[in-house]
Amino acid sequence: MLKKFLPNQHVKSISEISPSDLKKQGMKGIITDLDNTLVAWNEPDATPDIIDWFKIMEENDIKVTIISNNKESRVRIFSEPLKAPFVHSARKPLKRAFIRAAKEMGLKREEIVVIGDQVLTDVFGGNRAGFHTILVVPIIKTDDKITKFNRKMERRILDKMKKKGWVTWEE
């Protein structure tokens, strides 16, 4: 059961994820979390770096869909300027939103990577739904109220994985 929380990869920032690396792995699509993955949870708009990252993915025919547990208004305000499809109120780690996003992209699960900053929602949900997962370091250390609880649980899970030798990255 613990392995369902283990990401396939770990990176410090979403900017470390390149189209060429994804294509080498046979990936044609990305399902990405929003808050603390693309921008800080309290930042309403995409930064210039994120805008460029989305453009590079589009230029390389990598489809990107944003899925978030946040409310529609938050996700829409962020996603629409990027012309990015999105799923709001996703209820991650439930599989439904991940599967819906894949279906809307018209891609197979093995062609999609799930990217997020939380083990309990993004990685666990992506793994349960059968996707390749990448854990990113959260953009900022502060979190919204509900996420604070998740981080405490996540810390325990990561500590257990470290003891087993499954986690080798530095935080």
Question: 10-residue block means of pLDDT along the chain (171 residues)?
Answer: 88 95 97 95 92 97 97 96 96 96 97 95 96 93 68 78 75 58
pLDDT computed for residue 170 by the predictor: 62
Closest by Cα among 171, 144, 165 to 6: 165
pLDDT computed for residue 3 by the predictor: 82
pLDDT computed for residue 145 by the predictor: 65
pLDDT computed for residue 29 by the predictor: 98
Query: Which alpha helices (H) appear in 32-144, and where do they start and end?
Result: 48-59, 72-79, 96-105, 124-128
In the block, which residue shows the tokens 């891609």?
107
CA 43 vs CA 135, 140, 142: distances in Å: 20, 11, 12
What the chain holds in terms of domains, given with CATH numbers, is 2-163 (3.40.50.1000)
pLDDT computed for residue 142 by the predictor: 65
Q: In whole angstroms, what is the distance from residue 113 CA to residue 144 CA?
A: 25
